[in-house]
Chain A
């Protein structure tokens, strides 16, 4: 009476089989489907058929999926075809690039200019191993320099940082690393001015706002106490202020009178503004004084990564051989284009990938980048050597040929074949005078009936 198909009608069972086949790894899918469709043909002609038979196909397909190694699956589904290989690498590169735009840490490190005219801003420091973490100029020294402003500078500003307890309205004590400065530094850095009344005010970094105040949207205008004095939270600090030397989590902007009461021996950081952007060498001496000046903003990721890349290339021969083997000259251009594409994409993946993951890796980030570049280049070379020079697909069916004891008579090693019948690759276990590391042998048309 009803026009609805019964649960065990052939179209429904075929649909179930097609769905189940999606679980089967790609190289086995056709044969798997062929076997089940062969069986289902007999089912559909029998009366005691059950849709349960088709549901069992899902278990079978899932078993095949579980028992195909991930490496094999990746290799056969994504890496075998040159187009899919490039597509996979492009996707990874696009993902790591887009993450570098979306994640706040990598975005600031790579793309954001913390100050509008960062070329004019310099850090003045004394003789300390790391001028960005260790304060090296006393307040007294700063006042002396400021009185006799060196040529080329328009102004200087001083701040010092300390771990100080911030007491909230609810008498909660939150220890925060605070930079004590006057509003002069805001003017010097050309950070947008604050439209709040005079008096001490606190600017929180975005990270401190999230960490200590749980991203409270009503934080602006709240009174807090620092060192027994009432202070108003004026807002969030500009991005540039969060990456200043000393890594302050908040800025306490004081009146000039309060600021001048800093102890003369108190050490801090001195920021200077140049009249015009001048190329400065790191630690360039500042006239006759004992201080050095260096760019306030350091673009470390690019230079650091280039150095790591150089080290990776240097140590690469210890992990894999660099030679590609002997191939016919006619196949060169496609192979080289493919190689160049792979190199470019792997560089992008590792470069942006390690910068994206840097906040979670901390100090091991350079080591991770080195390992990433080395493994990436090693994969590029190994992959290139295992491809057919004609169709650029991965070679398959490796077979051991010969014996080590017969080295003097003929080569021994592994023979791989192009599944499309373009040729054979002989990979020798040991290079000899007559046989290099690997040789490609074209198969002519007479072999085509085998493929």
Chain B
């Protein structure tokens, strides 16, 4: 763990947001206040580093709500471990991010 590169503040915020329950790009943007040009590339980088993983929403759910399916993100085990380490580096971060309301999720 000590050899792994440290996460940036933005990447830690995104991990924290996903862990808090903001599980798709737009909600992560709203939770972190970061622009789309930062959030989406950062999520791709985190997915490449296997800290988060993505999955497509089931088509039936999307069809029932008459909208296109979304891509959801979730922390992996190593992502959770990295987030724990990063929280010690940014102790105020956990307090900034409240779990989303049912509608926002």
Instruction: Give the distance in Å from the alpha carbon of A43 to the alpha carbon of B26 in the complex.
Output: 8
Contact in complex: B70, A60 (CB < 8 Å): no
Known A39-B26, A42-B26: A55·B71 in contact at CB below 8 Å: no
Instruction: Name 16 extra pairs, CB < 8 A, besides A38-B71, A53-B36, A56-B37.
Output: A35-B71, A38-B68, A38-B69, A39-B24, A39-B70, A42-B70, A52-B36, A53-B29, A57-B36, A59-B36, A59-B41, A63-B40, A63-B45, A64-B41, A64-B44, A67-B48
B100 at the interface (CB under 8 A from A): no
Contact of A39 among B25, B41, B44, B45 (CB under 8 A): B25
State the 7 A-B residue pairs at the shortest beta-carbon distance, nearest first.
Answer: A56-B36, A56-B37, A59-B37, A63-B41, A60-B40, A38-B68, A35-B71
A307 at the interface (CB under 8 A from B): no
For A53, list chain B residues within 8 Å (CB).
29, 35-36
Instruction: Give the distance in Å from the alpha carbon of A55 to the alpha carbon of B36 in the complex.
Output: 8
Known A37-B68, A38-B70, A67-B48: A60·B26 in contact at CB below 8 Å: no
Instruction: Give the distance in Å from the alpha carbon of A90 to the alpha carbon of B37 in the complex.
Output: 39
A interface footprint on B12-49 (CB within 8 Å = 1, 0 otherwise): 00000000000011100100000111111100110010
Contact in complex: B35, A57 (CB < 8 Å): no
B67 at the interface (CB under 8 A from A): yes
Contact in complex: A60, B41 (CB < 8 Å): yes
For B38, list chain A residues within 8 Å (CB).
56, 59
Instruction: Give the distance in Å from the alpha carbon of A39 to the alpha carbon of B24 in the complex.
Output: 8
Tell me the chain A residues, 30-77 only, with Cβ under 8 Å from chain B.
34-35, 37-39, 41-43, 52-60, 63-64, 67
- Chain B interfacial positions (CB closer than 8 Å to A): 24-26, 29, 35-41, 44-45, 48, 67-71
Instruction: Give the distance in Å from the alpha carbon of A57 to the alpha carbon of B24 in the complex.
Output: 15
- Taking the nearest CB of chain B, how far is it from the CB of A48, in angstroms? 9
Known A34-B68, A35-B71, A43-B26: A56·B48 in contact at CB below 8 Å: no
For B39, list chain A residues within 8 Å (CB).
56
Contact in complex: A35, B37 (CB < 8 Å): no
Instruction: Give the distance in Å from the alpha carbon of A343 to the alpha carbon of B71 in the complex.
Output: 45
Contact in complex: A63, B44 (CB < 8 Å): yes
Which has the most chain A C-beta neighbours within 10 Å: B37, B38, B44? Answer: B37
Chain A interface, DSSP helix/strand/loop, else mixed: helix
Tell me the chain A residues, 58-105 only, with Cβ under 8 Å from chain B.
58-60, 63-64, 67
Q: Which residue of A lies closest to B48 (CB)?
A: A67
- Taking the nearest CB of chain B, how far is it from the CB of A265, in angstroms? 77
Chain B interface, DSSP helix/strand/loop, else mixed: helix
Instruction: Give the distance in Å from the alpha carbon of A124 to the alpha carbon of B97 in the complex.
Output: 92
Contact of A35 among B25, B35, B41, B48 (CB under 8 A): B25
Contact in complex: A55, B37 (CB < 8 Å): yes
For A39, list chain B residues within 8 Å (CB).
24-26, 70
Q: Which residue of A lies closest to B36 (CB)?
A: A56
Instruction: Give the distance in Å from the alpha carbon of A34 to the alpha carbon of B59 in the complex.
Output: 12
Instruction: Give the distance in Å from the alpha carbon of A43 to the alpha carbon of B69 in the complex.
Output: 14
A/B pair count, beta carbons within 8 Å? 58
Known A35-B25, A37-B68, A38-B70: A57·B48 in contact at CB below 8 Å: no
- Taking the nearest CB of chain B, how far is it from the CB of A37, in angstroms? 6
Which has the most chain B C-beta neighbours within 10 Å: A37, A59, A60? Answer: A60
- Taking the nearest CB of chain B, how far is it from the CB of A344, in angstroms? 40
Can you list 22 A-B pairs, Cβ within 8 angstroms, ordered by A? A34-B69, A34-B71, A35-B70, A38-B70, A38-B71, A39-B24, A39-B26, A39-B70, A41-B68, A42-B67, A43-B26, A52-B36, A54-B36, A56-B37, A57-B36, A57-B40, A59-B36, A59-B40, A59-B41, A60-B41, A63-B40, A64-B44
For A38, list chain B residues within 8 Å (CB).
67-71
Contact in complex: A60, B24 (CB < 8 Å): no
- Taking the nearest CB of chain B, how far is it from the CB of A56, in angstroms? 3
- Taking the nearest CB of chain B, how far is it from the CB of A19, in angstroms? 15
For A42, list chain B residues within 8 Å (CB).
26, 67, 70
- Taking the nearest CB of chain A, how far is it from the CB of B100, in angstroms? 14
For A58, list chain B residues within 8 Å (CB).
37
Instruction: Give the distance in Å from the alpha carbon of A39 to the alpha carbon of B68 in the complex.
Output: 9
For B67, list chain A residues within 8 Å (CB).
38, 41-42
Instruction: Give the distance in Å from the alpha carbon of A38 to the alpha carbon of B24 in the complex.
Output: 10
Q: Which residue of A lies closest to B71 (CB)?
A: A35
Contact in complex: B71, A60 (CB < 8 Å): no
Contact in complex: A60, B36 (CB < 8 Å): yes
Q: Which residue of A lies closest to B67 (CB)?
A: A41
For B71, list chain A residues within 8 Å (CB).
34-35, 38
Instruction: Give the distance in Å from the alpha carbon of A57 to the alpha carbon of B38 in the complex.
Output: 10
Instruction: Give the distance in Å from the alpha carbon of A39 to the alpha carbon of B28 in the complex.
Output: 12
Contact in complex: A52, B48 (CB < 8 Å): no
Contact in complex: A56, B40 (CB < 8 Å): yes
Q: Which residue of A lies closest to B62 (CB)?
A: A38
